[in-house]
Amino acid sequence: MNKTGLTPAQRGFRMPAEWEPHEGTWLSWPYNLGTWDGHLEGAEQAFADIISVLTRHESVHLLVPNAEVRLHAEAKLRERNVHATNLSFHEIESGDVWIRDYGPIFVKDARGKVAYTKWGYNAYGKPDEYADLLIGNDVPGKMPLDGFERFDTGLILEGGSIDVNGAGTLLTTESCLLSLTRNPHLDKTGIEKALGDYLGIKKVLWLSEGIAGDDTTGHVDDITRFVGETTVVTAIEEDPRDPNHKPLAENRKRLETMTDALGRSLDVIALPMPQPFDVEGRRMAATNLNFFVANGVVLVPIYDDPSDEKAIEALGKCFPDREIVGIDCRKLIWGFGSIHCATQQQPL
For residue range 143-161, what is the model confidence (pLDDT) as tens digits?
Answer: 999 999 999 999 999 999 9
Q: Which residues are catalytic?
A: 341
Torsion angle, CA of 242/245/246/248, rounded to 10 degrees?
Answer: 140
What's the pLDDT score for residue 2?
A: 56
- The CATH architecture that domain 22-347 belongs to is 5-stranded Propeller (3.75)
What is the band of 84 on the pLDDT scale with cuts at 50, 70, 90? confident
Query: What is the band of 5 on the pLDDT scale with cuts at 50, 70, 90?
Result: confident
The distance from CA 189 to its chain's CA centroid, rounded to whole angstroms, is: 24
| pTM of the complete model beyond 0.75 | yes
User: How far is residue 332's CA from residue 39's CA, in Å, rounded to a whole number?
Assistant: 8
Residue 85 — pLDDT band, cuts 50, 70, 90? confident
Query: HEC states along 46-70?
Result: HHHHHHHHHCCCCEEEEEECCHHHH
Q: Over 70: is that where the pLDDT of 137 sits? A: yes
* Whether residue 83 has pLDDT greater than 90: no
CA distances 102 to 117, 148, 214, 288, Å, are 11, 17, 17, 22
Of 1 and 134, the structure prediction assigns the larger pLDDT to: 134
DSSP 104: -
Mean pLDDT of 4-26: 96
pLDDT at 186: 97
What's the pLDDT at 1?
A: 45
Task: Please check the confidence at residue 182 and state whether its pLDDT lies above 60.
Answer: yes
What pLDDT band is residue 234 in, cutting at 50, 70 and 90?
very high
**Which range among 29-38, 224-233, 298-307 shows the weakest confidence by mean pLDDT?**
29-38
Phi, psi of 77 (to 5 degrees): -75, -30
Average pLDDT over residues 76-83: 88
CA gap 61, 346 in Å, rounded: 10
Mean model confidence pLDDT for the chain? 96
4 or 228: whose pLDDT is higher? 228
Tell the burial category of 240 from Cβ atoms under 10 Å away from its Cβ (0-12, 13-18, 19+).
Answer: exposed
* pLDDT number for residue 3: 61
Mean pLDDT of 277-292: 94
Q: How many CB atoms lie within 10 A of CB 41?
A: 11
- Higher pLDDT among residues 162 and 83, named by residue: 162
What is the DSSP-derived secondary structure letter of residue 150?
Answer: E
